[in-house]
A and B are shown apart, each in its own frame.
Chain A
Amino acid sequence: MDSETLEQVASADISVENRHYKVIGSRPIRHDGPDKVTGRALFGADIRMNGLLYGKVLRSPHAHARIISIDVSRALALTGVKAVVTNADLPTLESVVSRVGEGSINWRYLSSNLLAGEKVLYHGHAIAAVSAVNPHVAEQAASLIDVEYEILSPVITVDQAMRPDASILLDELRTNELGARGSTPTNIASHDQFQRGDLDQGFSAASVIVEREFTTSTVHQGYIEPHNATAIWGTDGQITVWTSTQGGHDARRQIAEVLQLPVSRIKVIPMEIGGGFGGKIGIYLEPVAALLSLKSGNRPVQMTMSRFDVLAATGPTSGSVIRVKMGAAQDGQITAAQVSLAYAAGAYPGSPVGSAMSVILNPYRIANVQVDGYDVVTNTPRAAAYRAPGGTNAAFAAESVVDELANKLGIDPIDMRLINGIKEGDRRVDGPISRRVGYIETLERARSSPHYLSALSSPSSATCKVGRGVGSGWWGNWPGGTSSVSVVVNNDGTVNLIEGSTDIGGSRVAMAMMLAETLGIQASDIKPMVVDTDSVGYNDVTAGSRTTYSTGIAVHKAGLKIIHEMCERAAQLWNVDPGTIDYADGVLTSGTNHIGFKELARKIGDGDGNVVASVSISPNGEGVALATHIVDVEVDMETGKVQILRYTAIQDVGTAIHPAYVEGQLQGGVAQGIGWALNEEYVYDAQGHLLNGSLLDYRIPTALDLPMIETVLVEVPNTTHPFGVRGVGEVPIVPPAGAVANAIANATGLRMTILPMSPRHMLEAMWAQAK
């Protein structure tokens, strides 16, 4: 294959609609599977090494306080204690904002989130850390650190934080008001807006208008593996960190910034990761463990969070207050929408309100719109990304209102969405013109699904009512960032695929399948591996549903390079021009000569120089995802409990590389969305103490809470990816809360405007309605 063809294949908008794949679309066993079912896979907390010390963190018992003094002498005097670190051990950083993952980060805030400086800003804020010979001694020592506080009044919700007389978290914070810096201290970090058309005209063209205010609670990503880090600060000044992260290189960069060291001094070894969902992009422990190692005679230090630490000091995603006013004409056309979203960022600016502003109305074509978004700091943990950040609460609000409009107009909820749904060429509410998307297809498949065509089951008891709801969701994905891979052909014809995208849900097998498809060989002949930051080029985080998209493009390109090189080698072997060689299905042919990939690899052996390829790319693609969900619920009118009876998720997935893992993404996102809809919430007392910092009281769905989750994969290939891939991981969490709320309304006539729709909130709403 000549280089021109190579270029064409790699850069063209490939039409993938009618491609027939051999590997893609099949369901091979994942390469890392056997280790994971036998307990052999090594996660971050599984590292064991000689001389290992254990680190523990002292956390603030107050939600908002000034630190007057810290006395570590009693801790250091305890037998078995090696070192203590506080904020004084960290370099003082300038206030500089940089992109990390999909979001942005102010390095100074990141640093003071690791170990608090002058103030603690939430219950659980880290203050100091101790290293000791075992975790029990370390914990005891942490409790012996004496901290004197001046307690300040806390603000927990966005409403409290936005009041004019609210207690101020960050003295230097000024509102970024549509790009201009405000002049007075505030908790409102920013106000953004987009608008188009004429709202007055739009609302006057409406025959029905619905206006509602929605409140949603803070929720946590809930990964089962607690954050952990093990670090050695070597005597040569080199730092090695083993950690659970969504991106080794991003972790390295954050550690380097916080410690003010060049990245080359730091090697991050990303271990198997026990769930992230966005919450393992930002760092918490890594520099602290490294500093403890430095101060403990360069011995390795391992830190693992307790579950309370995880809930109190990591994640969560924003609680919010969302107002939606929407009008529609008699024929169902949405004529105008006005929305405002206020999202709690936690202790430091950076809530996902920006993406929520896009999610909230983007499934629809609306000529007259205004969307306002406010990022508000509160005395709660610094918000982290959580699967389609900001999307679930936004869609809960918008999908509830769309449903109510449809009801008032007597239009089927799916028809209502078909009338207004975004298509190729429409202008999105957040600006860009829409490319080819499969939203309409998801609606049509929903309408003809066995679930939607089935009758509702009858209530299981006289106190129960049943209902059905529909909800849609949009997510932008992040079809960009940098991905680097290296590929090596072994002398037995197998192929090593070396990548830096951490694998949280089976991405290694998807990468192997895309390489196998490109090379025309079996997925089992590829050995995919995620390596440390010294061993592969830069990779952005596994987040934003970008890995199968972006790293997949890198893998495909590397595969084409390997084919090119294999053709060269065959040309030498046969003494022919490489341009005469045809490569198809793993066989090279020139005239009467032909040879299989494996046989050629064996012939090349190791003596003549390996066939290798490295690729680093930064695609600037597109690949938004849309989904429509259907849910049946049963509401117990006496207890307020909502049971999910049946659930179907229909999603435009582009091309499903490994359909089982694509289905798994849908099912997992739905389960998290149901938890958010029905149970999950942070409970604080008036002083801002987290009251439910355990997995007993912070209640995520169990196997008993859920039915089977049916999936319908609609494949509308993404024209910006060689195999048509769209990110699939995030959008499934967007529709559930809205769909469940609509099902509850259908069952009971009750329009829930609060999350979670827990028994308590359900009963309160029923009692208010009865008044």
Chain B
Amino acid sequence: MSNKTVVQATINGEEVEFLCETRQSLLEVLRDVLRLTGTKEGCNNGNCGACNVILEGVLVNSCLVLGVEVQGKSITTIEGIASPQGLHPLQQKFLEHAALQCGICTPGVLVSAKALLDRHPHPSEHEVRHWLAGNLCRCTGYDKIVHAILDAADVMSAEVTK
């Protein structure tokens, strides 16, 4: 059997230590080793965005990152987006706008949207669409997703100016 490596990382603000095979992707580590199954697999080769997480502030396809690569790094997954105070405005707006149907793309889309708003708090519709081009959704036609993200951006900037 192959050797396993000990990896330490910070996931959703918590320090974790896990054993992983060198061939295991970060997606496999999250889902199979750490049982954080909120991050989804849609293609396992970087084409759908269902597995998106934020790694050191950068949006990545976790299926294209190896588990051993995250040693010492910090990761945000869908499980880390809400706070103890409640849902993130993006999550709240997704519910209000009915921006999900089946919901399988939703974790990846929300993580991408959070990465977008972290960097560009006031995106235009075109910027939202451009940023989300790596997140495939087959159910919604993206309309309500884009509306929800634009609305969340408005709410968040209103909160900042308050």
Q: A residues touching B (Cβ–Cβ < 8 Å)?
A: 27, 29-30, 32-34, 36-43, 45-46, 48, 79-80, 136, 221-226, 272-277, 304, 306-307, 504-506, 658, 660-661, 663-664, 667-672, 694-696, 700-704, 706, 708-709
* Cβ–Cβ contact B98 & A506, under 8 A: yes
A-B contact pairs, 10 of them (CB 8 A): A32-B103, A223-B104, A304-B41, A307-B47, A660-B98, A664-B144, A668-B141, A704-B130, A706-B129, A708-B147
What residue of chain A has the Cβ atom nearest to residue B42's Cβ?
A224
What residue of chain A has the Cβ atom nearest to residue B98's Cβ?
A660
Known contacts A46-B37, A224-B136, A306-B44; decide if A38 and B91 are in contact (CB<8 Å): yes
The distance from the CB of A476 to the nearest CB of chain B, in whole angstroms, is 22
* Cβ–Cβ contact A45 & B95, under 8 A: no
* Cβ–Cβ contact B95 & A668, under 8 A: no
Residues of B within 8 A of A306 (CB): 44
Most buried by B among A33, A221, A505: A33
Known contacts A39-B107, A41-B103; decide if A29 and B140 are in contact (CB<8 Å): no
A258 to B138, CA, bound (A): 31
**Smallest CB-CB A-B distances: 4 pairs:** A39-B38, A274-B104, A671-B141, A667-B141
* Cβ–Cβ contact B37 & A224, under 8 A: no
* Cβ–Cβ contact B102 & A273, under 8 A: yes
The distance from the CB of B96 to the nearest CB of chain A, in whole angstroms, is 7
Known contacts A307-B44, A703-B145; decide if A672 and B138 are in contact (CB<8 Å): yes
B62 within 8 A of A: no
Most buried by A among B43, B78, B130: B43
Q: B residues touching A (Cβ–Cβ < 8 Å)?
A: 1, 21, 23, 31-32, 35-48, 50, 77-79, 81-82, 87, 91, 94-98, 100-107, 110, 125, 128-130, 132-147
* Cβ–Cβ contact A275 & B102, under 8 A: yes
What residue of chain A has the Cβ atom nearest to residue B106's Cβ?
A36
What residue of chain A has the Cβ atom nearest to residue B91's Cβ?
A37
* Cβ–Cβ contact A42 & B48, under 8 A: no
Contact of B37 among A27, A37, A42, A79 (CB under 8 A): A42
Known contacts A224-B48, A224-B105, A504-B102; decide if A37 and B137 are in contact (CB<8 Å): no
Residues of A within 8 A of B140 (CB): 664, 667-668, 671
Q: Binding site of B, secondary structure by majority: helix, strand, loop or mixed?
A: loop
A614 to B97, CA, bound (A): 33
A39 to B105, CA, bound (A): 10
Residues of B within 8 A of A80 (CB): 1
What residue of chain B has the Cβ atom nearest to residue A311's Cβ?
B43
Residues of A within 8 A of B136 (CB): 224, 695, 700, 702
What residue of chain A has the Cβ atom nearest to residue B144's Cβ?
A664
Residues of B within 8 A of A32 (CB): 103
Not counting A40-B79, A670-B141, a sample of 17 additional A-B residue pairs whose C-beta atoms are within 8 angstroms of each other reads A37-B106, A38-B38, A38-B81, A43-B104, A224-B42, A224-B50, A224-B105, A307-B48, A505-B101, A664-B141, A667-B140, A668-B140, A671-B140, A696-B45, A706-B142, A708-B143, A709-B141
Known contacts A225-B104, A704-B133; decide if A39 and B78 are in contact (CB<8 Å): yes
The distance from the CB of B147 to the nearest CB of chain A, in whole angstroms, is 8
Residues of A within 8 A of B105 (CB): 224, 274
Most buried by A among B94, B104, B134, B140: B104
The distance from the CB of B60 to the nearest CB of chain A, in whole angstroms, is 17
The distance from the CB of A504 to the nearest CB of chain B, in whole angstroms, is 5
* Cβ–Cβ contact B138 & A38, under 8 A: no
Residues of B within 8 A of A708 (CB): 125, 143, 146-147
* Cβ–Cβ contact A38 & B79, under 8 A: yes
* Cβ–Cβ contact B41 & A45, under 8 A: yes
Contact of A660 among B38, B102, B134, B144 (CB under 8 A): B144
The distance from the CB of A42 to the nearest CB of chain B, in whole angstroms, is 7
Residues of B within 8 A of A505 (CB): 101-102, 139
* Cβ–Cβ contact A275 & B139, under 8 A: yes
The distance from the CB of A608 to the nearest CB of chain B, in whole angstroms, is 37
The distance from the CB of B115 to the nearest CB of chain A, in whole angstroms, is 15
A664 to B37, CA, bound (A): 26
* Cβ–Cβ contact B43 & A307, under 8 A: yes
* Cβ–Cβ contact B41 & A29, under 8 A: no
Known contacts A39-B79, A304-B41; decide if A703 and B139 are in contact (CB<8 Å): no
A550 to B95, CA, bound (A): 26
Contact of A661 among B21, B96, B98, B132 (CB under 8 A): B98
Residues of B within 8 A of A36 (CB): 100, 103, 106
A222 to B138, CA, bound (A): 7
